[in-house]
Amino acid sequence: MQNWTELWNAGRLFKAAFDEQRTAIKSVYGTADRVLSVPAGTPAEYTVSMDSIPDSFYALRKNIFSTLFQSVYHLMDCDPQHRLFYGKLIHLFRIWVTSADNLLDDEDKVVIPIQMPGSSRVMRQVVSIMTADRIFQQLLAEGRETGALTAAQAQELSDRSLQILLPSAAQEASEEEGVTERPDPEHVLNVIHRYKTGILFNVAFLGPEVIEPHLDRKRATALKEAMLQFGIGCQVLDDIRDLARDHIEQRHNYLLSTLWKAQPGFFQPLEKTKCSDSVGFQTLENRELSVGDRLYLEVPQVAIPAAQLGFGMMRDGLTTLGEMGLGIRPKLAENLAASMFTVLDLQDLKYA
């Protein structure tokens, strides 16, 4: 985090973007607090309401990606009056995507703190998605009322806010029954991950593409590609960390595809192998694994090259953002990319 703090201190644009994003988040939660209200007279045991917002929700560490998105609006010279609207839209996308992932992955990453009877993990995610949708419709209505949005622009934003996520949803759906054969690692990197994660690093461009009257399309495309590169680099690191989880849950993973292609015996039952494999332990089919196992530490021959690949993609994406005005020098881009190993819980992986 020290390097991101350095950028926050040295880069006025990044600091301004962070301040705007915090303001946008507070506004979204303020509206959520009003929306999450049960009818008068509802018994206490059936009450649903907003819980308090932890200070950590506004910290830079929790908002690195959102702040990068917000920075892009400065780099595209978006209307200052529009940037707060875009920041709110970023946070709503974050609520939609995280809550959907929680439902799919049986997780509970809180994006809207909600007080509700019982543990209610699933219903909290459902209510979060529904609440975000109501907030979005209110934002569109306010935009029309103030003249910031035409009726046509509001309708386009409403439609495309769903449409832009559908390819990612389709990719997730393709994994629900489990992956039985591993595709080529280059296919995972350039196709699957482009829709799995990369596209989520491009949702920030939806608002400006619809609203900004004098948007420099060529510049926006270059920024979009830089964000896509950074995002896929982050996903490669996620694949390293989640090697055991993705094997157990039969999900696409760049490292698993690399192993499938390079060492097919790695996945075969022991009776089909004549001796212990070259990695030095049983094949995956015969191991007792848990989702939290740091399996990547046992396969450095694929984990280290993958880490170098992810690092290079993040560094190059950040370097481009720096060249386009974010205030990231080449050395700082390297340091920021390296710091993502800590942010993504891979600090124990030595890849250099």
| Residue 311 one-letter amino acid | F
Q: Which of 239, 197, 201 is nearest to 349 (CA)?
A: 239
Residues 114 and 28 in one domain: yes
Cβ-count burial of 96 within 10 angstroms (0-12 exposed, 13-18 middle, 19+ buried)?
Answer: buried
Is 282 among the domain residues?
yes
Same domain membership, residue 346 and residue 201: yes
Whether residue 82 is contained in a domain is answered as yes
Average pLDDT over residues 225-231: 94
Residue 274 — pLDDT band, cuts 50, 70, 90?
very low
In a domain, 50, yes or no: yes
Query: What tens digit of pLDDT does each residue of 139-191 get?
Result: 999 999 998 899 999 999 999 999 999 999 999 898 888 888 899 999 999 99
Phi–psi pair at 47, nearest 5 degrees: -85, 140
Please give the average per-residue pLDDT across 229-251, as a whole number: 93
**Residues 221, 143 within the same domain:** no
Q: Which residues are CB-contacts of 216 (< 8 A; sequence separation ≥ 6)?
A: 76, 77
Residue 72 counted as domain residue? yes
Would you say residue 49 has pLDDT above 50? yes
pLDDT score of 275: 45
Q: Is residue 180 part of a domain?
A: no
Structural domain count of the chain: 2
Sign of the C-alpha dihedral computed for residues 194, 195, 197 and 199 taken in this order: positive
207 assigned to some structural domain: yes
Judgement on whether residues 137 and 262 belong to the same structural domain of the protein: no
Do 6 and 41 fall into the same domain? yes
For 233, 314, 331, the CA distances from 319, given in Å and listed in that order, are: 13, 8, 9
The CA-to-CA distance between both ends of the chain, in Å, stands at: 19
Task: List phi, psi (to 5°) of 217.
Answer: -65, -35
In a domain, 174, yes or no: no
- 207-220 pLDDT, tens digit per residue, is 999 999 899 999 99
Q: Answer yes or no: do 128 and 48 share one domain.
A: yes
Q: Does residue 111 sit in the same domain as residue 43? A: yes
Tell me, yes or no, whether 132 and 196 share the same domain: no
Structural domain including 159 reads 1-163
> Are residues 298 and 345 located together in one domain of the fold?
yes
pLDDT digits (tens, 9 = 90+) for 246-264: 988 899 999 999 988 887 6
| 99-125: average pLDDT | 90
Q: Same structural domain for residues 249 and 209?
A: yes
Quote the mean pLDDT of the chain: 89
203 within some domain: yes
Q: Give the model's pLDDT for residue 327.
A: 83
What confidence score (pLDDT) does residue 10 get?
Answer: 53
Position of tokens 């212990």? 276
Within this chain, do residues 20 and 133 fall inside the same structural domain, yes or no? yes
Q: What pLDDT, on the 0 to 100 scale, is given for residue 266?
A: 65
Q: With H, G, I as helix, E, B as strand and everything else as coil, classify residue 50.
A: strand
Question: Does 317 lie in the same domain as 271?
Answer: yes
Predicted confidence (pLDDT) at residue 303 exceeds the cutoff of 70: yes
% the chain with pLDDT above 90: 68
pTM over 0.75: yes
